[in-house]
Structure formats: structure tokens, C-alpha cells
Amino acid sequence: MTSELNASGRRLGPLSKIPVGEGRTFIVDGVELAVFRTRNGDLFAVQSRCPHRGGLLADGLLGDGKIVCPLHGYTFELTSGQSLGQQPCESITTYSLEVTEEGDLLIDLQRASCAG
């Protein structure tokens, strides 16, 4: 599994950098990312800033596969990046992420996807 990512991936350091159920903002090659670790062990990486007014998503509340922006409560689906609600704002970019055998986070900036 890891092999595919190893080529283009960037290491973010040990998984333990992120407290359980929370997120952290990373800067990799000048790109800001929010990385989340859920209570049941899922990992997600998305663009760091909320498209609404730039709130730092890593500081938001996480749960049920969603992140709630700490500034005004816009909510995004972490797998698809889609904004929830009937009058949604733009979607956020999502990235592929995995954990290496040594327990390091590995992100692939090339494999970004935009729900459009």
C-alpha cells in the first residue's frame, strides 16, 4: 500500500503529533494542510483554510466524517470535501494520506481532488 505513495509522498512526522479526535495544520512545500485523526482511527487531509473567510479548519470540531469550521460553523464532508447545507459554499480540496509502517504520516500533494 505504502509503496505507491512513497514516490511522491511527504512525511509529516509521527501520527502521535495529532491528538485523538482533533486536527493540526501542517505546512508542506509551502502548501497549508489540515490533517485530522478521528476517534475511530480514520485519517483525513484537506486544505487548511475555510473557503468562507479563511478559518483554520484544523481547529474545528470533528465528528461523523465532517469538520465544522471554528469561525462561523460552515461544515464540510471530509471524504468528498463537499460543503453541507442547501446553499453550500465552495468545496475544499482533499488529499490522500496514509501511515507508514514506522507510524509516520505520509501525504501525497499530487493526489489532490476537488469535489468541484
Partner 1 sequence: MTRKNRLVVVGNGMAGARFVADLIDRGGADKYDIVMYGDEPYGNYNRILLSNVLAKTQDPKDIFINPLQWYAEQEVTLHAGTRVVAIDRRARRVLADNGSEQRYDTLVLATGSTPFVPPFAGLAGEDGQYKKGLFVFRTLDDCEGITEFAKTSRKAAVIGGGLLGLEAARGIQELGVEEVHVIHLTSHLMEMQLDATGGGLLKDSLEGMGFRIHLEKSTREIMGNGRVTGLRFSDGTMLDSDLVVIAVGIRPNIDLAQRAGLSTVRGILVGDDLQTVDDPRIYALGECVEHRGNTYGLVAPLWDQARVLAERLTGLRPDAVYTGSRVATKLKVMGVDLSVMGNPVKQEGDEEISYVEQSRGVYKKVLIRDGRVAGAILLGETSRSAHLLQLFDRGQDAPESRSDLLFPAASDGSQSLESLPDDHQICNCNGVSKGQLVGAVEKGCRSLKSLCDATRAGTGCGSCRSQVEGILELATDGDTEEDPSIHYYVPGVPLSKPDLVAAIRKRGLRSVSAVFAELAGGRDDPKSKMGLASLLKTIWGSEYVDQRDARFINDRVHANVQHDGTYSVVPGISGGVTSPDQLRKIADVADKYAVPMVKITGGQRIDLLGVRREQLPGVWRDLGMRSGHAYAKSVRTVKTCVGSEFCRFGLGYSTQLGVEMEERFKGLESPGKLKMGVAGCPRNCSEALVKDVGVVAVEGGRWEVYVGGAGGSHVRKADLLTVADSHEGVLRLSGRFIQYYRENANYLERTYSFVPRIGIERIRKIVVEDADGIGEELDAALQASVDDYSDPWLEATAPAHPAQFASTFSS
**Which parts of this chain interact with ligand FES (CB under 6 A)?**
50, 52-55, 69, 71-74
Q: Identify the helix (H) or strand (E) that includes residue 107.
A: strand 104-114
* For ligand FES, the closer CB: 77 or 108: 77
- Tell me how far apart the alpha carbons of residues 15 and 93 are, in angstroms, rounded to a whole number: 21
Does 11 engage in binding with partner 1 (CB under 8 A)?
no
- Of 32, 90, 98, 104, which lies in the binding site for partner 1, with binding defined by CB under 8 A? 32
Identify what 52 binds: ligand FES, partner 1, none; CB under 5 to 8 Å per kind. ligand FES
According to DSSP H, which parts of the chain are helical? 2-8
Query: In this structure, are residues 107 and 9 in contact, taking their beta carbons and an 8 Å threshold?
Result: yes
Which CA distances in Å does 74 have to 81, 89, 90?
12, 8, 10
Residue with cell 469561525: 71
- Of 15, 43, 59, 80, which lies in the binding site for partner 1, with binding defined by CB under 8 A? 59
**Residues engaged in binding partner 1 (CB under 8 A):** 12-13, 17-22, 24-28, 32, 39, 53-56, 59-64, 66-68, 70-73, 75, 85-87
